[in-house]
Structure 1
Amino acid sequence: MTKRLALIDMGTNTFHLLITEVDESGNRTDFVKTKLPVRLGQGGISKGTIAPEAYERALKTLRDFRRQIDEYDVETVRAMATSMVRNASNGEDFIKDIYKQTDIQVEIIDGEREAELIYYGVRSAGVLGEQTSLIMDIGGGSVEFIICNNQEIFWKQSFEVGAQRLMDKFFSADPIPDAEVAAEKQFLAEQLRPLTEAVAKYNPSRLVGASGTFDTLCDIDALSHGDNARQLSQPASASLQIADFYKIYQELLHKTHDERLAIPGMLEMRVDMIVLASILVDFVLETYNLKEIRVSAYALKEGVLAQALESM
C-alpha cells in the first residue's frame, strides 16, 4: 500500500514543503521539495511577536503550499511550527488564521521534540555511525544540539540562539566588526553552558551539521573546487573538511553583503545570517575540539517522515 504525505516545516527563516509517496517497502518518490525564504522572524523576533508583513508572507506561502498539496491529492498533511511561533505572543492567532485560510492544522512543537525529530531525520540520511556525534541544526530562532550515535540519543537540548536572533543582537555593521564576533562568542559561551557540560560527559568526536547553513557551506565548498555535480544531485550526506570550512568562514567575515552574494553557491536568503551561523560553527568546533564535519541534507521534516513511516 502506498501512502502520499505532505510535510511542512515552518522555520523562523525558511518554510519547507515536501510532498512524497512511500510504498510498502519504504521506497520514496518525491513530487515536491521546496524551501522558501519566508523570514517569519524578520522585524519581530526580538520583540517576541510575528510582524504584520511576515505574518502575511507566511499565510500567502501556506495558501500556495495548500494548492500544491491539493494538486497531488495528498492523504496526510503534517505541519510543524518551531521557535518563532512557539515564542510569539500572537503565535496562537497565527495558527488559527492558517487553519481558517488553508485548512492546515499546524502543530507547535517544543524544543525537545524538535531536537528528537531532527535526530531521526539526520539518522535517515545515513551520516551517523557507532561513534558519538554532536548534531547541530541552526535555525533562525533556535539551535538544536543532539549528542548521539546511530542507535540512540544520549542528550539533547534546544537553545534560543538562532541566526536571526544573533543577527539582531550582533550584526551592527557589514562586514561584521571583530568586537561583535568576540561578543557573539562570549554570549554563546554563557548560553551554551549545558551543552559544554554534556560534551564533557559524552565526548563526541565529530560535528554533524543538519541542513540549512551547512548545505550552503557544502555548495560553496564544492563549487570552489570546480564540482558542479553536487547542486544537481543534492546528496543526503556529505563531508566538509575543517580547513575548507575555515577558508569559507574567513571570506564570510571579511566580505560585505554584495560580495558574499557573489560567492558561487551562496543563497540570497542566507547571505547575512550565514555570517552569524558560521561564527557559531567556529565556536562549537573550537570549544569542543571537534576534528571532523559531516553534513546531513535531512533534518526536521525527514524526521517526521521517518516516524510516520514507522507507524504505517
Structure 2
Amino acid sequence: MAPNKAAIIDMGTNTFHLLLVELYEDKFETLYKEKIPVKIGQGGISHNTIHPEAQKRAFHTLQHFKNLIDGEGITKIFAFATSAVRNADIGHEFVSKIQEQFHISVNVIDGDQEAQMIYEGIRFSGSLRDEICLMMDIGGGSVEFIIGNQHEALWKRSFEIGGQRMLDLFHYHDPILREEVENLTSYLEDKLLELAMAIKTFNPTCLVGSSGTFDTLTDIYFESLHQKKSRSQQVFQLPRAEFEVIAGKLLTLNKEQRLQIPGMIPMRVDMIVVASCLIEYILKLIPVETLICSNYALKEGAIAQLMGKHSLAALQSR
C-alpha cells in the first residue's frame, strides 16, 4: 500500500498540536510535529466563551499550520476541537470562521469521543497489557478517565475540570496556598464521585497518564537523573516517590522558581501545579507505586483510527 499523507490538528484548550504523518497499514511515520501554547481557554473558558485575544492567537497558529500543511502538499486534514470550543457559546461561529478562512473542517468532539480517542492513542503507544488500568488525560478544559486494558475500554468519562478551569477557580496565589489546595481537593472529591465508584467497581491496578503534564513530569524526573528521554520510546515510568518529590516542590515554588526546574517548559508552568494536585488526589483512589506515562494521546488515537479501524473515507465523512 502506498503511504497516505495526512495532517492531524488537535485544537486543545491549552495547546494546539500539529502532526504531519505518512500512514501505512500498520504504522505511521512522523514527517513533522509542533505544539503551540495557544491557550484558547484563557480569559474565557469559565464564562463559556472564547476571548477575542485567544481567537486571534488561534487564527494566527492555524495560518502557520496551514502553511506547513500546504508546503508538504497534504490535502487530508483532520482537525479536532475539544472542551473550550464545545462549551463556548460562540463555538459554532468560531468553527465556521476557520472553515471560511483556512478551508479546514473542524470536528468538535464530545467528551465521550475524546475519551475514546485518548484510549486508542494510549493503546497504540504500547502502554497497556492485560491488567486493568486507570488512564487519565489532563487537558486545559476537560480531564478524561478511562478504565480498561489493551483489549477494551470498560468505562470512560470526560469531566469538565481541566487545568485552565482549576487555575481560574483555585490558584490565586503563587506559590499556591494550602487552603487553595484543600479547596481544590474538596472540589475534586465532589466532581469525581462517579470516577471513585467506577474505581471500586473495576478495581484498576495501574495508572497511565497521557501526554501533556505527564510528559513534563517525566522530563523533570529524567533531568534529575541527568538522563535524556529516548525519542523512539513512547512509554515512560515515573516512580510514585519521585512524583511526590516533584509535586512537593511545585507546590512551594512561585512561577519564576518553577521555570528554573530542569525539564520544565514555559507552556506548562502555570497548569502543572493544579494538575499535580489532581494526580495526588487520584493516587489516593488508586495507590500505585509507579505512574506509567504515555507519549501518545488524542492525536495518535486519531491516527490509529485512520490506519485501521476506520478507512480514511469513513473518518472524513464523520
Per the normalisation by structure 1, the TM-score is: 0.97
Question: Which residue number in structure 1 is paired with residue 107 of structure 2?
Answer: 107
> Quick check: 182-191 or 70-79, which moved more?
70-79
The structural deviation recorded for 1:23 is 2.7
Opposite residue 41 of structure 2, the aligned amino acid is G
Q: Is the 8 A contact 1:205 1:292 kept in 2?
A: no
Q: Is the 8 A contact 2:125 2:296 kept in 1?
A: yes
- Residue by residue, what CA displacement relative to the aligned partner does 1:7-27 show, whole Å, maximum 9, x if unpaired? 010000000000000234x33
The structural deviation recorded for 1:125 is 0.3
Percent identity for Structure 1 against Structure 2:
46
The structural deviation recorded for 1:291 is 3.1
1:256 aligns with 2:257: no
The structural deviation recorded for 1:181 is 0.5
1:68 aligns with 2:68: yes
Q: Is the 8 A contact 2:240 2:288 kept in 1?
A: no
Give the distance between the partners of 2:165 and 2:212, measured in 1 at CA.
16
Structure 2: segments with no counterpart, 5+ residues: 312-318
Question: Which residue number in structure 2 is paired with residue 47 of structure 1?
Answer: 47
| RMSD across aligned positions (CA) | 1.0
Opposite residue 145 of structure 1, the aligned amino acid is F
Q: Is the 8 A contact 1:218 1:240 kept in 2?
A: yes
Question: Which residue number in structure 2 is paired with residue 276 of structure 1?
Answer: 274
The structural deviation recorded for 1:172 is 1.1
Determine helix, strand or coil for the equivalent of 1:222.
helix
Give the distance between the partners of 2:144 and 2:289, measured in 1 at CA.
20
Question: Which residue number in structure 2 is paired with residue 221 of structure 1?
Answer: 221
1:1-312 paired onto structure 2 within 5 Å: 1-24=2-25, 26-227=26-227, 229-230=228-229, 233=231, 235-310=233-308, 311-312=310-311
Distance 1:99 1:242, change over 3 A: same
Give the distance between the partners of 2:222 and 2:3, measured in 1 at CA.
36
Give the distance between the partners of 2:74 and 2:223, measured in 1 at CA.
36
Opposite residue 277 of structure 2, the aligned amino acid is I
The structural deviation recorded for 1:234 is 5.8
Determine helix, strand or coil for the equivalent of 1:233.
coil
Q: Is the 8 A contact 1:285 1:291 kept in 2?
A: no
Question: Which residue number in structure 1 is paired with residue 316 of structure 2?
Answer: none
Opposite residue 284 of structure 2, the aligned amino acid is E
The structural deviation recorded for 1:286 is 1.4
Give the distance between the partners of 2:29 and 2:307, measured in 1 at CA.
14
Q: Is the 8 A contact 1:3 1:75 kept in 2?
A: no
Determine helix, strand or coil for the equivalent of 2:73.
coil
